[in-house]
């Protein structure tokens, strides 16, 4: 089945939203409530912020459910280094492309990827937002 991707445009910026990747960290809603309105349709209203503010917020999305591209940019992002960020009370955020090997199977993932730290994810080793439900502290 094809992955669902919804696009929202403001000026030279196109925002891509992949609902299946979202771990509901709510960083988007907390950072730009004038843009991200889950009770409205469409729930992403990019006219509520500047392109620069949108890019800064999207760069903080721990699951990469939100990404963007600027007009004239190559859609393929080049990542030269892998960075791992420990999210407060949340997952490990791996920025960069990764190769995950488990049970002898290899899986390629384009970052960022959120890895579970709380142990409660139903989608291990990936984060599914369970840390919020159990009030994980770490």
Q: Would you list the DSSP string of 49-69?
A: S-HHHHHHHHHT-TT-SEEEE
Residue with token string 């995950």: 100
In terms of domains, do 87 and 40 share one? no
Same domain, 57 and 103: no
pLDDT at residue 96 in the model: 80
pTM of the predicted structure, to 2 decimals = 0.61
Total of domains in the chain: 2
In a domain, 1, yes or no: no
Q: What is the pLDDT of residue 79?
A: 43
Q: Are 43 and 4 in contact (CB under 8 A)?
A: no
Distance CA(76)–CA(114), nearest Å, equals 20
Q: Residue 35 has what DSSP assignment?
A: T
pLDDT band at 74 (very low <50, low <70, confident <90, very high): low
Token pair of 18, please?
């992949």
Mean pLDDT of the chain: 88
Residues 56 and 20 in one domain: yes
């Amino acid at each position: 089945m094809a992955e669902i991707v919804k696009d929202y445009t403001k000026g030279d910026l196109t925002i891509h939203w992949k609902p299946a990747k979202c771990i509901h960290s709510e960083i988007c809603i907390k950072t730009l409530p004038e843009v991200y309105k889950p009770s409205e349709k469409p729930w992403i209203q990019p006219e509520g912020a500047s392109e620069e503010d949108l890019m800064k917020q999207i760069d903080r999305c721990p699951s990469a459910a939100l990404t963007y591209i600027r007009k004239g940019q190559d859609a393929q992002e080049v990542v030269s280094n892998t960075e791992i960020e420990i999210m407060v009370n949340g997952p490990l955020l791996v920025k960069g492309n990764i190769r995950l090997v488990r049970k002898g199977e290899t899986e390629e993932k384009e970052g960022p990827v959120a890895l579970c730290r709380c142990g409660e994810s139903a989608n291990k080793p990936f984060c599914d937002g369970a840390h919020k439900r159990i009030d994980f502290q770490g």
